[in-house]
Every structure is written in structure tokens, then in C-alpha cells.
Structure 1
Amino acid sequence: MDIIWFGEGKKINFKMIKDVEVSFITVNYNGLDDTMELLTSIANLQKNDISFETIVVDNASKEDPEPKILSNFPFVNLLKSSTNLGFAGGNNLGIKHAKGKYLFFINNDTIVSDDLVEILLQRFKENDQLGMLSPKIKFHETNIIQYAGFSPLNVLSRNFAYGNKREDGGEYEEFLNTYAGHGAAMMVPMKVIEKVGAMPEFYFLYYEELDWAQQIARAGFEIKVEQKAKIYHKESMSVGKNSPFKTYYMNRNRILFVKRNFNGFKRFIGLFYLFFIVSPSKLLKYFIYREKDHFKAYLNAVKWHLNTPKYE
């Protein structure tokens, strides 16, 4: 893997000092226009009295992002990988180069609000046991909530996002515990990462932040969502909503998450449900509707677990 590190904020005064408080880390994969919009919103934060750096990890995109990003945002540290490292791998590459006390992992298809970082940092300063914190997430250019916290996964490995697709009327404004932060926007102290470790890369895409949150919680830290801090998300624009690629990783990783995070009878029921109820019904559906690519993707997701037990 070849990694090239460009840019160190030499052309703009972004409080580039040794003691960086926040490291923004975002992964770009064939989504340069979205990444440029995110960087524009981050650039507007320069007026705030916070020392921060911005790291963009490019996961082997078709279009080289260097000319556009560094000509418009010379404060960015751009890391380029010659292979697609996935969501966790890309973020972990950013972690290796981050200098911040707090790392803010943020999807490239989001827009930050002006007071977002200050509100999140204040919560960490008030609570030394806080290990992961996400803001409320709204759908882009709307007042519709995408995420105001996650419920725990039940025995059938199902959960839901509080407030999802509801108008934000202020009913979720209390600072809440949550099962996990949201991968689109989550802040984690560097000291927590040093204790727990980086994101689990074997997921590649989907469920890695849920697993990471459980690791952080088991280490004795709290996972919370801050309702007064808001970010706007364009939702999955780089991966097709019904693509075979998504079918494979969503279902492979759902089973993997249960293997790694459920115990005892709950684990037995969870795996029985996924292997012997969900899998046959989904394969039958894909067969009936002649969705060959999805059928193959789902079958490969199940086969992966028969051949790869080492991540349990």
C-alpha cells in the first residue's frame, strides 16, 4: 500500500500549533464534490477559538482529489491510499497521523454547524468517562431527524435510531445515553483509542462503529449523543441503497456483530435466527424476483462465516 501525505497547513493560519485539540478525519471514496462541501463548512470554523486539523483520507478514488482539495483548502492533510481500505481502514489511517486530543470522525457527505465542535468538547470537559459522543444528525437541508441515538440491539439483532424520519420538534433535546455513536459523526478522545484500540477493520463497511462502541463501553467508558449539537447528512450517496455490495457487507457483518458481541442464550438465538430464518427467506426472495446479483451476494455473506471463524 502506498501512502502519500500532502499538506500541513502552511498557507493558512488555522492555529497550527503543537497542541491540537480536535482532529477532523473524513474518508473520501469517489465523492469529491461532497468532500469539497464538507471542507467548506469546516473552513468556516476557523473563526472559532479551537485548535484543529483536518485530515482527508482518499480510498483509491477514480479521480485524484489532490488538485481540487489542496488548491482550495491548503490547510488539509491529504492521505492517499492506493487501495480501498474500507470505512474503518480509512479512518484508522487518519488516526495514525492525527495529533488531536479528540478525534472527530465525520462522513464526507455531511455539513457541520458552526457551534458543533464547541458543544461536543464541553461535554467531554464535563465528563472524564465519556468515551464516544455523536451529535444529533438531520437529513441535509431539512428539519427531519436521521439520528438522535440508537436503541440497543435486541435478541434478533434489530434496533432503531431514535427520531428517525421525524420532524424535529425538540422532544429529543435531553442529553441521552445511546447504544452507539453514529458513524457519520462521532467524537472519540485519543486516550480512549490508545486504551481500546482503533476501529475493527475486518468489517470493512457497516457495523464497525457499533462494534467499536461496544468495545469502548466494555472498557468502562460512556457512549452518549448530544442533542444540542447538530450536523446535516446527505445519507448514503457513495454506495447504492440496494446494491449487491451493500447486501453482502450488511448481512455478513450483522452476523459477525452477533458473534462478537452477544453471549450465551442471546447469542444462540441471534445466530439461529440469522442463519435459519432470515437467510433462507432472503435467498428465496432474491430467487423469486430473479435478483441474481443479490442472491449471490447474500450467499457469499453466509459462506464467509463458514470459512472465516477467526474474528469471533
Structure 2
Amino acid sequence: TEEALKNKMPKDITSKYPLVFLQSGDNLGFAGGNNTGIRYALVKNDFEYIWLLNNDTVIRKDSLIKLVEFAEKNNTGISGSVLMYYDSPNTVQTYGGHINKFLGTSHRILKKEQIKDKLNYIVGASFLINRKVIEKIGLLPEVYFLYYEETDYCFNASKNGFSLGVALDSVVYHKEGQSTGASKKLKSEIDALSLTNRIKFHKKYLGGGIGLWLGMVLAFFIRIGKGQVDTIWKMMRINKTLNLNSKKP
């Protein structure tokens, strides 16, 4: 129960910052679940930032403090932490993400020197949103269910004049994939959903066309080479009316 969970927390924390647990009643996906909390915060109307944090992460005591300090100093619309592998805490998982604007492929940024030129989306595992962004562009897009929501939101924010940034002294340890419960049985379904969402994203922000075609052909050949043909069939099943020529998301 909520009361039992509160009793396990230090009293000075729960008295000053009460914990609120919201039940959506259904699995709404990454965006839908987070939007439930954001809507609650908007009703309370007592915040300047929203911090989205995956449930498969472990933070340092100052992870949020450093993140907010960075956002305040640099006036960023959306800020991210440095994500480290939980099982290998000295290894960087990513500083952020980069989308190839022709093919639509996504890549992790693994060198901090590349942040300035490469960063065009913040990874959703630790995702700090300035209130002004929410007031300007609204909630996270719920059309994806899982994957590409934060990418879409960052592109939308950038299009509306907000900057992105990574707080190098805000560190979060990520147990990658555990928020989805990604067993071997589910990996192909998740991969198929990710490819489907790439198509939606490309059509919305990158124009579709030949770049989308080439990117998907490349993705198919990579999976065929790995013996993951089932991923392709599952993607087609998810999106039976797939039309790469259409520019509609």
C-alpha cells in the first residue's frame, strides 16, 4: 500500500516531499504513463521541472540536483543525465542520442566531445523537462506506445526554439531493457515496434521518401544477417497497411 511504502522512506523525506502513486488502470506505454504524472503535476501547479526517470535506474544522491543546476545555468528546454551501465558502472551507456536525418537511424553518443555537434535527442531514462516546454508543445506523443516518444518530443521542442543539453556531472545507472521486461521472447516484438515507430517518426519530421526506404532496407538486411527474420514479419503484422511512399505518419 501507499502507506506501507511511505513507512519505508526516511521520515524527513516523506514529510517534506510526500510520495504520490498514480494508477492509470491500464498499460498506456511510456508516453501515456508519464503523461498521467505530468497531468497530475499540472493540476497541482507547483513545479518548474518534470523529471522522467525509468524504473530500471539507480541514481546518485546528487543526480537530480546536478541536472536542475545544469538546466538553470544553460536555460535548456530538455536536459539529460550521463547514463552508465548498472552492471558496469564505469562504462558510459550514452551521453544522449543522434538521429541521422536522412536515413532516420538512431545512434548513441559515446564520447562527450560529440555532444555539441551530434546531440539531437535526450534518452528517456533520465529526462528533465522545463515547464515552459510543456506549456508550449504539450504532453509526450502517445502514438508510439514505446520507443521514439522522447525523440519526437525533443525534435518538437527544438523546432519550437528550445535547446537540449546533457549534464555531465549528473550520473544515472541504467539497467538497460529491464523497464520493458525484455526477455528473449519479447525482443523481436520490441524490435519490430521500434522499426515501425521509426517509420512514423521519419514521415513526421524527416519527410519520408528515399531516405526512409534506404534506412529500412538497411535495417532489414542487418536483421536477416543476424537470423532475425521474425522481426520483419512481426513488424509487417503490427503495421499491415505500411506504405513507405506515404508521407503521413
Place the TM-score, normalised by the shorter chain, in its bin: 0.7 to 0.9
Q: CA deviation at 1:273?
A: 1.7
Q: CA deviation at 1:295?
A: 4.3
**Aligned residues of 1:249 and 1:301 also touching (Cα < 8 A):** yes
1:77 counterpart SS class: coil
* 1:14 alignment counterpart: 13
* 1:23 alignment counterpart: none
Q: Gaps (5+ residues) in structure 2?
A: none
1:126 counterpart SS class: helix
* 1:100 alignment counterpart: 47
TM-score, length basis structure 2:
0.81
1:221-232 matches, cutoff 5 A:
221-232=162-173
User: 1:44-84 CA distances to partner (integer Å, 9 max, x unpaired)?
Assistant: xxxxxxxxx5xxxxxxxxxxxxxxxxxxxxx4211112211
* 1:133 alignment counterpart: 79
1:87 has 2:30 as partner: yes
* 2:139 alignment counterpart: 198
**Structure 1 or 2: more helix by fraction:** 2
**Aligned residues of 2:104 and 2:198 also touching (Cα < 8 A):** yes
Q: Which amino acid is the alignment partner of residue 56 of structure 2?
A: D
C-alpha distance in structure 1 between counterparts of 2:218 and 2:32, whole Å: 29
User: 1:12-36 CA distances to partner (integer Å, 9 max, x unpaired)?
Assistant: 443767xxxxxxxxxxxxxxxxxxx
Q: CA deviation at 1:154?
A: 3.8
Q: Which amino acid is the alignment partner of residue 205 of structure 1?
A: L
**Aligned residues of 1:176 and 1:226 also touching (Cα < 8 A):** no
Q: CA deviation at 1:280?
A: 5.9
Aligned residue pairs: how many? 235
Q: Which amino acid is the alignment partner of residue 196 of structure 1?
A: I
* 1:236 alignment counterpart: 177
2:168 counterpart SS class: strand
Q: CA deviation at 1:172?
A: 2.8
Aligned equivalent of 1:220, options 158, 161, 167: 161
C-alpha distance in structure 2 between counterparts of 1:280 and 1:122, whole Å: 43
Mark the CA change 1:295 to 1:173 in structure 2 (over 3 Å): closer, same or farther: closer
Q: Gaps (5+ residues) in structure 1?
A: 18-52, 54-74, 164-170
1:65-80 matches, cutoff 5 A:
75-80=18-23
Q: CA deviation at 1:296?
A: 3.2
Q: How high is the sequence identity, in percent, across the aligned residues? A: 28
Q: Which amino acid is the alignment partner of residue 257 of structure 1?
A: F
Q: Which amino acid is the alignment partner of residue 216 of structure 1?
A: A
C-alpha distance in structure 2 between counterparts of 1:151 and 1:258, whole Å: 14
C-alpha distance in structure 1 between counterparts of 2:228 and 2:166, whole Å: 42
C-alpha distance in structure 1 between counterparts of 2:204 and 2:159, whole Å: 13
* 2:149 alignment counterpart: 208
* 1:117 alignment counterpart: 64
Mark the CA change 1:101 to 1:302 in structure 2 (over 3 Å): closer, same or farther: same
**Aligned residues of 2:204 and 2:247 also touching (Cα < 8 A):** no
**Aligned residues of 1:132 and 1:222 also touching (Cα < 8 A):** yes
The higher relative CO (CA closer than 8 Å, separation ≥ 6) is in: 2
C-alpha distance in structure 1 between counterparts of 2:114 and 2:105, whole Å: 24
Mark the CA change 1:194 to 1:304 in structure 2 (over 3 Å): closer, same or farther: farther
